[in-house]
Copies of this chain bind each other. A is one copy, B any other.
Amino acid sequence: MYTWEVNKQLWLELTQAALAARDFKTLRHMLQDMHPADISQLLRKLSAADAALLFRLLPKDEAAETFALLGSSAQQTLIQSFSDAETVELLEALYVDEAVDFLEELPANAVKHILQNSTPDMRAQLNRFLQYKEDSAGSVMTTELMHFPYNNTVGETIAAIRATPRKLAMDHVLYITDRQRHLLGDIHLYDLLTSEDSLLLEDLTGKTTPQVHTDQSTDEVIALFRHYDLHAMPVVDTENRLVGVVTLEDVLDLADQQATQDVELMAAMQPSEASYMETSVTRHARNRLPWLLLLLISGMINGVILGGFEKIFMAVPLLVTFIPMLTDTGGNAGSQSSTLIIRSLAMGDITTRDALKVLWKELGVSLLVSIGLGLLTFGRVITMQDGNLMLAITVVVALSAIVVLSKLLGGLLPLLANRLRMDPALMAAPLITTVVDALGLIIYFMTAKLLLGL
């Protein structure tokens, strides 16, 4: 643990003690300097009654910020102690994307009840957001942004900003629009502030601003943020009118989630949005079992293949002892390649167009690696008690063939999946291991048959 985590832990324990002692003076004092992220961590540890008590001590904006960081199960526990009026007040203090995240996890009738109690404006907006598809730009954007008409002067705009303070999710980029709210450009608040008062906003717009539609995928949004080093991405509706913005803070979360789901899929699991600890044992089992069953079945097929070579391995039992080494090395060599390609695809560093280059690179690498592995294996087999030259050659030839094959498959299968619009992360270690096992066993025993004259 880092020092700040240890200090945070201590602080959380002190606050908890003050709460247990019902020492509200100390408690208020401690909460004043606590960050909402820490308060939300504390709330998750408390009983429902204590959590509700503590939550009511928070100022409105801070309560909203804390609530947004709670996670859906703690949110639902907390909300049970709220009156309808309190719930609606809380929803109004949240950013719209946070409110929607919360509502999406509630049972349908609870959502209906809350919407009935909301103001018509808010109800309309929440309803619109609830219709955006999961993992679309619309579902992760927020609406609290600044936009001004292109024919405003800098001076007018600054005066307007100063006159009406608002709670903004994106507080440092202004969007410049026409009368129909079509996006014309953007400008940083700092650049606005350091421009001449008499200039028009349209004079300050620079290059075309990258923008996305509400229904474009979050993966595409992340790719654009990565490529263009953006602060924020404006989102437009089907009529190209500005409706929201995706912020960099949200993208950091999305990129983390994307990476987590990729590694989960690569390790043959159903990706899950909930954290490890929040996921129940049965849910964990359900995420993992289907893949294990699938791979078990392909493992059984490999057993059948192996059974076909029974005569050969009965003649030279020593051959059996190299099976784990050969199959493991194939799996490892293949998973190195597939991992690199899957990650490079996710980061936008390579595309399916690079297939030929990948093929050549992996071929080169696998030949180099085979030399190293082959030398060690040759030395080992030839110096074994029952080892001999032909056996050593058999194992080395099989090993090299397996390494080359697994690296080529590892390099190309993720590209193929991408081409077929499947998730490349499916083509990771577990699947490649099974395929390479089957091919590897065939190569191994065919070589043995040939070289050892069996």
Contact = CB atoms under 8 A, between A and B. Distances in A.
B328 A299 contact: yes
Interface in A305-334: 306-307, 310, 313-314, 317-318, 320-329, 331-333
B288 A365 contact: yes
B332 A268 contact: yes
A313 B320 contact: yes
A349 B264 contact: no
Contacts of A1: 351
A5 B352 CA distance: 13
Nearest to A334: B267
Total copies of the chain: 2
Contact of A354 (B208, B277, B291): B277
A162 B194 contact: yes
A430 B433 CA distance: 11
Contact of A318 (B193, B229, B307, B365): B307
B433 A328 contact: yes
Contacts of A328: 295, 299, 302, 327, 331, 430, 433-434, 437
Among A210, A220, A277, A310: residue with most chain B CB under 10 A? A277
A318 B309 CA distance: 11
Contact of A332 (B208, B249, B376, B430): B430
Interface string A124-162: 000000000000000000000000000000000010011
Nearest to A365: B284
A320 B292 contact: no
A230 to B, nearest CB: 8
A304 B292 contact: no
Contacts of A281: 361, 364-365, 368
A416 to B, nearest CB: 15
B325 A303 contact: yes
Contacts of A251: 252
A303 B430 CA distance: 22
A325 B327 CA distance: 11
Contacts of A208: 33
A369 B256 contact: no
Given A189-B190, A347-B260, A368 B267 contact: no
B325 A368 contact: no
A33 B210 CA distance: 11
A303 B321 CA distance: 4
A362 to B, nearest CB: 8
A212 to B, nearest CB: 9
B327 A372 contact: no
13 contacts: A2-B223, A226-B256, A268-B335, A269-B339, A276-B349, A281-B365, A299-B325, A299-B329, A313-B317, A314-B314, A328-B430, A331-B430, A335-B430
Given A162-B193, A268-B335, 19 more contacts: A1-B351, A33-B208, A35-B207, A37-B227, A37-B229, A172-B189, A248-B249, A252-B255, A256-B259, A259-B263, A262-B263, A263-B266, A276-B361, A291-B336, A292-B329, A299-B329, A303-B325, A313-B317, A328-B331
Pairs of residues from A and B, 8 with the lowest C-beta to C-beta distance, nearest first? A299-B325, A172-B172, A165-B194, A267-B339, A171-B190, A281-B364, A285-B368, A259-B259
